[in-house]
Amino acid sequence: MTSELEIRPLAHQLQSAVRLTGISRSQLYELIKHGELPIVKVGRRTLIADDDLRSLLCRHRVAGEIAPQQSPSESDASAAGPRGRRALLRENVRPNASPPKAAT
């Protein structure tokens, strides 16, 4: 939430947009070229509206991309490679399930 003393800029120069978003300069130019990121030209200066930057980031948000924090046992399984992860998954597939029925 923005307080009365905080002033959020309406637009950013390209260099500032790179620093704020972490998106490379060349990638920002590609997004502009393909119409995904609108710009404002004032003389020779290229500006990107703050709202457009935020909108770009929201449009490209991917659910579930950030990995949850791992417990030590999960970290060990990750280090063990795919077989370690599979074994861990088999153990944790149904933690509340009842044990398998004996064959009759």
Answer whether residue 50 is part of any domain.
yes
Q: Which amino acid is at 8?
A: R
Can you say whether residue 40 is alpha, beta or left, with left for phi > 0 and alpha for psi between -120 and 50 degrees?
Answer: beta
Any domain includes 47: yes
Structure tokens at 46: 């290229």
pLDDT given for residue 6 in this prediction: 85
| Structural domain contains residue 39 | yes
pLDDT at 89: 54
pTM of the model: 0.55
84 belongs to a structural domain: no
The parent domain of residue 54 ranges over 11-59
Residue 2 falls inside a structural domain? no
pLDDT along the chain (104 residues), means of 10: 76 96 96 96 96 94 67 52 53 52 61
- Cβ atoms of 49 and 40 within 8 Å: the answer is yes
Kindly state whether residue 1 falls inside one of the protein's structural domains: no
Residue 67 lies in a domain: no
The answer as to whether 100 is a domain residue is no
Q: How many domains does the chain have?
A: 1
CA–CA distance, 29 with 39 (Å, rounded to integer)? 10
First to last CA, the chain: 64
14: phi then psi, degrees, rounded to nearest 5? -55, -45
